[in-house]
Amino acid sequence: MTILAIESTCDETGAAVGRLTANGAVEILSDVKASSAEIHAKYGGVIPEIAAREQIGAIIPVIAEAIEEAGVEVAAIEAIAVTEGPGLIGSLLIGVETAKALALAWKKPLIAVNHMAAHVLANWIKREGGTIPQLPAVALIVSGGHTDIMLMRSLTDWEWVGGTRDDAAGEAFDKAARAMGFPYPGGPLVAKAAEAAGEIPTEIKLPRPMINEKNLEMSFSGLKTALLNLLAENKQKIKERPELVNEIAAEFNLAVTEVLVKKTMAAVEKYKPRSVLLAGGVAANKQLRGELAKAVKEAGVAFFLPDLKYCTDNAAMIAACALLQPDYVDPLRLRPDPGLEVR
């Protein structure tokens, strides 16, 4: 099946055309994206009304470009997929209503996609000479809104087994960035500063909340508070030696990584999966990718993570999710669902 997928959960508008291969991988024929991030940078974060307004102007050109780039005719598209949530309600409405209109006008089936499930299933996007994950699998979803550990018994049988009690890891990165004076979007800049730090001085130490508790739960709110206190205590030192901010960023990056890796490997030990999957925007973090890959390899389990371009929001992952677990819906009944639940 060849499908057109639409993504519009936040400040980016995406469209992709994809199809399923014989071995169960997803082949992406086109993946087009427009972003209003530069506009939001002036405000230090996403302004929902502005994001939706920008998407109104971008969505049709993005869809048209995706179809043209894929080299397919509308007649060859067998279904339309769209993100129904979670996300910003105004942004979701743009994507959902556009998909509904196209499904009715072109007489195509409509598939509703959960954004967070799509992040995980991006691991099935075809790679050069690559394989696809074998199930059951443990999946770590790490983004601005989610830090969850899922047990995947099959493509449709998922169980939440652990996650954060408060801030998501991506949210903690963004708040840390603001505290350290990095512009929006700041999370990736914290990781970049950490790379530039070199060795972390022993006197710079942040907690690893809940890392030694015998469960799969995490907490990042206290880590953020500890960072604020550390910055306040070293205010004068930072003025004298600005590179100290990089060293503090490195310690913060390491603290988050160690918690995520420890909890994921605890899930691996408990559930004995055939594969471990990493997904979500924070999956682009080099230290997390490297440390988790190392730990999983030592455990003798296959490790999968999406290409960097498929970690952040994109329509290719929506196509993958729609092809692997199609949820057909009545176009006249589909409504956006901004809730954070992964179904």
Specify whether 97 is located in the same domain as 172.
Answer: no
Residue 340 inside a domain? The answer is no
Residue 43: predicted pLDDT: 63
179 CB neighbour count, 10 Å cutoff: 18
Confidence (pLDDT) at 203: 83
Do 159 and 252 fall into the same domain? yes
**95, 188: one domain:** no
For residues 191 and 256, membership in a common domain is answered with yes
Least Cα distance to 259 among 300, 301, 306, 226 occurs for: 226
Domain of residue 24, CATH code? 3.30.420.40
Give pLDDT, residue 339.
66
CA distance 158 to 119: 14
Q: How many domains does the chain have?
A: 2
33 in the same domain as 10: yes
Mean confidence (pLDDT) of the chain: 92
The residue assigned the tokens 């399923």 is: 20
Residue 146: what pLDDT? 87
- Give the predicted TM-score (pTM) of the model: 0.91
The pLDDT value given to residue 37 = 67
**For residue range 233-291, what is the model confidence (pLDDT) as tens digits?**
999 999 999 899 999 999 999 999 999 999 999 999 999 999 999 999 999 999 999 99
287 and 171 housed in the same domain: yes
Indicate the SS3 state at residue 185: coil
Give the whole-angstrom CA distance, residue 197 versus residue 253.
11
HSE at residue 72, side-chain half, CA atoms within 13 A, is 20
Distance CA 166, CA 199 (A): 30
pLDDT of residue 42: 66
Whether 15 and 122 map to the same domain: the answer is yes
Residue 299 has pLDDT above 80, yes or no: yes
Q: Does position 340 have pLDDT exceeding 60, yes or no?
A: no
Q: In this model, does residue 11 exceed pLDDT 90?
A: no
What pLDDT does residue 183 have?
85
Domain containing 235 equals 137-306
* CA neighbor of 282 nearest in space, from 98, 57, 119: 119
